[in-house]
Amino acid sequence: MKNAFRFYRCKVVLAILCLLPVIFLSSCLKDEDSDSANEYYAMATVYKGGDSVMFQMDDSAFLVPYNDLPADTFQVGERYFVYFSIGDTSDFPVYSKYPILLQSYAKAFIRPVKLEPDESRWFSKQVLSVQYVWCSSTYYNIVFTTYKGTSSPETFELVRISDEETNSPTDTQPELVFELQHNVETVSVNTQAIHFYSFDVSSLESSFPNATKLIFRVKIPTPDGYYSMYTSYIPKRKSSAILSVKGRTSPILH
């Protein structure tokens, strides 16, 4: 894969008021003739911090950035959404370790899936858009945009709505229904925020011991009701953690 990528012109990311304070971004602009087939995104955990950052993806593979990164930004155990291209692997004989040009990143958050609604916190404000949805290992990963909350507490939940299901414990491909909730009393319609979340869905596997696939139908709230997004989750398997962005663009670079 020698010379499999082109050099990139870096730019400073403008301060975007809509972003949550806990999200930190860094990005690069690629040359117009670069090949998006070599660009990927993933959720990854900081395996090594300091001056020699290393990420571990959910399938246990490692990502090793070779471009300069801000010192002391990444703490071991933190989770990040990373957007990158793979570099020259000739000096990386280990198959599960990849040199990368880290084009952009944002801190992500892990939460358990909620097995039943909390009626006292059911505000469920509008979700403006969903940029990415995929499963890796035991996580349902989602990148989405909302209006920024202006009251506290502000939480984001993936809540199971079992009353809308017709499953049997012996089903091999049950369909589970969820709602993505932005639970906050008030928002600012003048400010938007982008969010990066991984919801741990491993607790659902024991309810369907015969399942070869769990089909997730996630309801996304809008001003006029809901629309649904479907994603498949394979139990007891570390799903592929790296996804190609060919034909798509990074939500961070919009």
Residue ranges of domains in the chain, CATH in brackets? 9-108 (2.40.50.500), 111-233 (2.60.40.2370)
Please name the residues in contact with 14: beta carbons below 8 A apart, sequence gap of 6 or more: none
Residues lower than pLDDT 70 in the chain:
1-37, 92-95, 118-124, 237-254
Q: What integer pLDDT is reported at residue 115 of this predicted model? A: 86
Q: What does the pLDDT read at residue 36?
A: 55
pLDDT score of 65: 94
Cα separation, 112 vs 234, whole angstroms: 17
Please tell me the pTM assigned to this model. 0.79
Cα distance between residue 62 and residue 228, in whole Å: 33
Q: Convert the chain into a string of H (helix), E (strand) and C (coil).
A: CCCCCCCCEEECCCCCCCCCCCCCCEEEECCCCCCHHHEEEEEEEEEECCCCCEEEECCCCEEEECCCCCCCCCCCCCEEEEEEEECCCCCCCCCCEEEEEEEEEEEEEEEECECCCCHHHCCCCCEEEEEEEEEECCEEEEEEEEEEECCCCCEEEEEECHHHCCCCCCCCCCEEEEEEEEECCCEEEEEEEEEEEEEECHHHHHHCCCCCCEEEEEEEEECCEEEEEEEEECCCCCCCCCEECCCCCCHHHC
Question: Tokens standing for 152?
Answer: 């506290």
Hey, what are 63's tokens? 């990502």
- pLDDT, residue 91, reads 72
